[in-house]
Amino acid sequence: MKKITIILAILMGSLSTEAQDLNSFFTKADAFFKANVANGRVAYASIKKDRATLDEVLKIAEGISVTKSDAKNYQAFWINAYNLSVIKGIVDNYPTKSPLDDKGFFDKTKHDLAGKKITLNDIEHKLLRAQFKDARFHFVLVCGAVGCPPLINKAYLPNTLEEQLQKQAVLALNGTYFIKVNAKKKRVYGSKILEWYKEDFTMNGMTEIEFINKYRKEKIPAKYKLTYFEYDWNVNKQ
């Protein structure tokens, strides 16, 4: 009985430490975004001069443990880890005009996160999109370019994640940076993201227009033709 008690105490201590680390990650990530993001733009030049806070929060992220079964913690961690790693990648090469100027930025460069060495593409496609089938990830994962949905100046947190995902989807699909509606021509011009990830926006037999209308206040007629405008890969700097 004594051995069992000791083992349980060790396990509980380990779980408590993991929870503390995750809370510390969210707290420091939130402070970092508040200090360095405004109107969807990132202060890369300032971060380059003093990157101690970015390095600190990413160091915590290295040792985090999250599991898919704890979905909200898992999703919130990986969304923030993705956005922070994008910022690190751009800062490492700053000044730069575009994340694409760094060959392999998304599919070759590996980041130390949650005990893995992982690329940005693997975070997005394998750890999030493939596991949860939620198209709203496209409104919160920010690739460091002007064409991406804007980065918010706070962390995504497990207890507010659903509300945050919903808010960013509504903002994107009611604004003009992700879609533009021309009633006169009966056309919708959408971000290339809608084309690149069409399967995410047409799940369960839904059309892209039907997906957009889920979040639109002013619904778009089903007969409108959808085309895509060019993606702006210029870096989203302040």
Q: How do residues 103-147 score in pLDDT, each as one tens digit?
A: 999 999 999 999 999 999 999 999 999 999 999 999 999 999 999
Any idea which residue has 């089938």 for tokens?
133
What is the value of pTM for the model shown?
0.92
For 198, phi and psi rounded to 5 degrees? -50, -35
User: Is the pLDDT confidence value at 51 over 70?
Assistant: yes
Stronger pLDDT, 237 or 17, i.e. the higher one: 237
Write out the two tokens for 173. Answer: 């699909």
User: Is the pLDDT confidence value at 190 over 90?
Assistant: yes
Neighbouring residues of 130: CB distance < 8 A, sequence distance ≥ 6: none
